[in-house]
Amino acid sequence: MTAWLAQHLALVMFAVLGVALFCGYPVGLVLGGLAILFGAAGWALGAFEPIQFANLLPRMFGAVAANSILVAIPMFIFMGMLLEKGGIATRLLHCLEVLTRRVPGGLAMSVTLMGTIMAATTGIVGASVIMLTLIALPAMLARGYSKELAAGTIASAGTLGILIPPSIMLVVMGDLLQVSVGTLFAGALFPGLLLSALYLLYIGAISWLKPGLAPALPPDVGPKSRAEFWRMIGKSFFPPVLLVVLVLGSIFGGWATPTEAAGVGSLGAIGLVWHAGKLDAKTVQETIESSALTNAMVFMLFFGATAFSFVFRALGGDDIVKDVMNAAGIDTGWEVLIFVQALVFALGFFFDWIEISLIVLPVFAPLLRDFDFTGHLGPGGNTLFLAWFIIVLAVNLQTSFLTPPFGFTLFCMRGTVPPSVSMGDIYRGIVPFVVLQLIGLALTIWLPELVLWLPRRTGLLL
């Protein structure tokens, strides 16, 4: 018994994690605590030496702190928060609403467009869905939109931000699987835009067929004269769009690393908030506080997960994962791919992408390194496969977050919507978007060039 336990301690550790996470204690600390507890258990069983804990600090330091790639995360969060707290996002939404006033479902389309443009603000699903619900839902309900369409649009637009660059999720996944972040940003652009276009088409079609679902903007709202209209475009529309285009363009063009683009983007965002006359003490305080709290949350998870996967490895976790997969008959590339995707889809019912990436990817990374999928993707080796794999994973996660009854996005939304919007409204509203997601997912898997064309073209992938 003891011998079996000593050999399979990593497996037990993973099982205990599955239970302990649900006790409601902060995930990062649960991960860190389990690392220490199972290190001690391994010591008692002769499978771990306490001195091995000394390697923990160099890992936490080297992989999390002294990591130039991860510096992009606080900077993108900061840039996004500036745009949100500085009121740039709200004004952009209003501007889009006016621009699309003659299109059926204009306001819903504006929400989707804002989710696309402001993807940086919406890097963390929980935070972004809550923000979009607060900004857009009251406006949509006030205009007489159907609750279902409003809820579905907001949930899908809020989840779009994890895929569309600059995406914090892709920074994390790229760091974990050692794929360049620029490559991933370029790879995610077309799948993201495709999904966004599918959403817009659906909103347009349903609002055209059933105009009662999405009433047009009343004529007395918006700018009164042509001059006022252009002033609004110049002040609220072009600056944020230009900022996002510059940030992405400088990465794709190879002029700047994602970290540099995020830093310069933050300066740009400060400029925009100043230009809007909102760079006051209150906005600055709120921005700093929300950015730093979100950032600390992310890096607490990084610290905990680093400790967890370190002890998991030290207890022989990598071999056990391979053995278990072999015993289950999952060993060809496609089988592993489908298995990991299915696992992540299921985990997306309960966890945000940070926990999933930080816990699951290190476990399967050694396995994933064995494949190249040359037959499906063309020559390019393992890096090419990993880049495509991550984008498929991202679209898959989005789909999972939106799928009723458990989807993580829907769960976050429930706490924020006014009582007049029921869970049933949210479920009914999201179903068409889940179907669109599945189409997008199928296309991403079936036509890998959708992902790989831009990185190849820009020379980010050789």
Binding of another protein by 80 (CB under 8 A) = no
Binding of another protein by 279 (CB under 8 A) = no
239 upstream amide cis, omega within 30 of 0: no
Binding of another protein by 256 (CB under 8 A) = yes
Q: Which residues of 204-231 are buried (b: 16+ CB within 10 A; e: fewer)?
A: bebbeeeeebbbbbeeeebeeeeeeeee
Tell me which residues in 164-183 interact with another protein (CB under 8 A). Answer: none
Of the candidates 11, 47, 63, 70, which one interacts with another protein according to CB under 8 A? 70
Binding of another protein by 57 (CB under 8 A) = yes
Give the CA radius of gyration of the chain: 23
Query: Which residue lies nearer to another protein by CB, 201 or 346?
Result: 346
* Closest to 198 (Cα-Cα) out of 454, 453, 438: 438
Of the candidates 90, 133, 236, 291, which one interacts with another protein according to CB under 8 A? 291
Contacts of 26 (CB under 8 A, 6+ apart): 300
Query: Which residue lies nearer to another protein by CB, 140 or 358?
Result: 358
Query: Which residue lies nearer to another protein by CB, 49 or 228?
Result: 49
Of the candidates 199, 310, 411, 433, which one interacts with another protein according to CB under 8 A? 411
Binding of another protein by 66 (CB under 8 A) = yes
Shortest distance in whole angstroms from residue 43 CB to another protein: 12
Listed ranges 69-77, 157-165, 207-215, 219-227: which one lies at the site for another protein (CB under 8 A): 69-77
Query: Which residue lies nearer to another protein by CB, 38 or 385?
Result: 38
* Closest to 238 (Cα-Cα) out of 81, 78, 88, 77: 88
Binding of another protein by 351 (CB under 8 A) = yes
Number of residues that bind another protein (CB under 8 A): 69
Q: Is the CB of residue 184 less than 8 Å from the CB of residue 115?
A: no
Token representation of residue 302: 């990084």
Cβ neighbour number for residue 71 with a 10 Å cutoff: 17
Binding of another protein by 274 (CB under 8 A) = no
Of the candidates 300, 330, 343, 423, which one interacts with another protein according to CB under 8 A? 300
Binding of another protein by 281 (CB under 8 A) = no
Token representation of residue 91: 């004004």
Binding of another protein by 354 (CB under 8 A) = yes
Listed ranges 147-155, 175-183, 352-360, 363-371: which one lies at the site for another protein (CB under 8 A): 352-360
Binding of another protein by 312 (CB under 8 A) = no
Query: Which residue lies nearer to another protein by CB, 101 or 313?
Result: 313
Number of residues written out for the chain: 462
Token representation of residue 395: 């679209």
Amino acid at the residue 440 = G
Q: Is the CB of residue 104 less than 8 Å from the CB of residue 214?
A: yes
Q: Is the CB of residue 290 less than 8 Å from the CB of residue 81?
A: yes
Query: Which residue lies nearer to another protein by CB, 139 or 360?
Result: 360
What is the rounded CA–CA span in Å between residue 335 and residue 287? 45
Token representation of residue 382: 């393992």
Shortest distance in whole angstroms from residue 296 CB to another protein: 4
Of the candidates 21, 325, 423, 431, which one interacts with another protein according to CB under 8 A? 21
Binding of another protein by 217 (CB under 8 A) = no
Binding of another protein by 27 (CB under 8 A) = yes
* Closest to 385 (Cα-Cα) out of 376, 367, 373: 373
Binding of another protein by 78 (CB under 8 A) = yes
Of the candidates 6, 36, 216, 447, which one interacts with another protein according to CB under 8 A? 36
Query: Chain-centre distance of CA 274, in angstroms?
Result: 28
Cβ neighbour number for residue 185 with a 10 Å cutoff: 27
* Closest to 160 (Cα-Cα) out of 203, 204, 129: 129
**Burial class, 179, CB count within 10 angstroms (exposed 0-12 / middle 13-18 / buried 19+):** buried
Q: Give the binding site for another protein (CB under 8 A).
A: 20-30, 32-37, 39-40, 53-54, 56-58, 60-61, 65-68, 70-71, 74-75, 78, 126, 256, 259-260, 262-264, 266-267, 270, 285, 288-289, 291-301, 303-304, 307, 350-352, 354-355, 411, 415
